[in-house]
Amino acid sequence: MSNQPGTNRPIWESESEFPELSEELRTGLSEVVDPEIGLNIIQLGLIRDVHIEPEEAKISMILTTPFCPYGPAMLETTRDKAQEVLKRPTFIDLGMEMWDFSMMEDGLGADWGLY
């Protein structure tokens, strides 16, 4: 997986075949906020990849911690928002990749005193 040049954000598979739809999805998923941290899942870098097919979509997502108390609700909200935007059944593949601050959008770590 490679990152968008000049950012910490991974390039989604869907961006090459469905660029406009991917951008709409990014905007829609920006409404899903981690209530404990107060940032959205795009800012946090939790969406690791998106695969869109004509009849369905799959989102690879991670959580900030394995035992995130809001994890189940965030996964369901993410799926609901993605289905609303993509207008097709969407499945969430919960990855086991460990989240760290470097996955956040550029500049946000400074708000936490990290950079």
Model-level pTM? 0.87
Domain limits for position 95? 14-110
- Within a domain: residue 78? yes
> Model confidence over 2-55: pLDDT tens digits?
665 455 678 999 999 999 999 999 999 999 999 999 999 999 999 999 999 999
- Within a domain: residue 8? no
- Within a domain: residue 81? yes
Distance CA 2, CA 47 (A): 13
Contacts for 29 with CB less than 8 Å, ≥ 6 apart? 40, 41, 42, 47, 78, 81, 82, 85
- Within a domain: residue 23? yes
Distance CA 35, CA 50 (A): 23
Confidence of residue 109 (pLDDT cuts 50, 70, 90): low
Domain CATH code at residue 94: 3.30.300.130
- Within a domain: residue 5? no
How many domains is the chain built from? 1
- Within a domain: residue 106? yes
